[in-house]
Every structure is written in structure tokens, then in C-alpha cells.
Amino acid sequence: MNAAPPFHADPDRVVFDRTELGMILSVYGRFVAAGEWRDYAMSFLRDAAIFSVFRRATEHPLYRIEKRPRLRMAQGAYAVIGMDGRVLKRGHDLAPVLRVLDRKLIRPVD
């Protein structure tokens, strides 16, 4: 019986590493628990890795978390982009970039 060939990452695609994905899924889990988000999608392209979050699967994404390594020396490789296409936060480190979403989760109590 032949073993499956070893997995080799496609060098032509940008991906999130395990640590990055863990941080993103942690934020995603908090929003799911709060009832704000219900679905997500991931895209791995030649120039970007994109994690999109949805309120419903049939809608446009509420937010996109993007990793674009080409921008790492300039504006930073990570960005959170809103539904309207505006860049909400961009930076060199993923954790502070994701904090912009935490502000969206905090609401005043009536």
C-alpha cells in the first residue's frame, strides 16, 4: 500500500500560518458567541490571503481580513477592510490590526 505523497504548500499562493489563523478564529469565535457573525470564507490567492466574515452566507462580507506580503515593507502586510471597501486598520502585526474589530463588539448597555 502506497502512502500519500507529502503535503507541499503551493509557493504561488499566500496563506495564513497557524498562529495567524488562531488569532483570526479567536476573534471570529467571540463574534459568533455574541450572535454577530455566522459564516466565514477563506481565499488563498497569488498576492493575498483573505478571511471574509458574514452575517449570513448569502450576503456580502461584513469584513475582510487580508494578508498581502508585498505591502509588508510599506503599509504593513495585514489589513481589516469594511463592507464598503474602506481600510479600517492596516499594520505590520496582526494582533493590533484585529483590535479594530474588538471595538465593534463593545456596545453600550441600554
C-alpha 15/C-alpha 67 separation (Å) is 8
pLDDT band at 24 (very low <50, low <70, confident <90, very high): very high
Residue 60, classified by CB atoms within 10 Å of its CB into exposed (0-12), middle (13-18) or buried (19+), is exposed
Instruction: Give the pLDDT mean for 57-77.
Output: 88
C-alpha 58/C-alpha 80 separation (Å) is 21
pLDDT of residue 78: 95
pLDDT of residue 74: 86
How far does Cα 100 stand from its chain's mean position? 12
**End-to-end CA gap in the chain:** 64
pLDDT of residue 28: 94
pTM above 0.85, yes or no: no
Mean pLDDT of the chain: 86
Q: Where are the domains of the chain?
A: 18-104
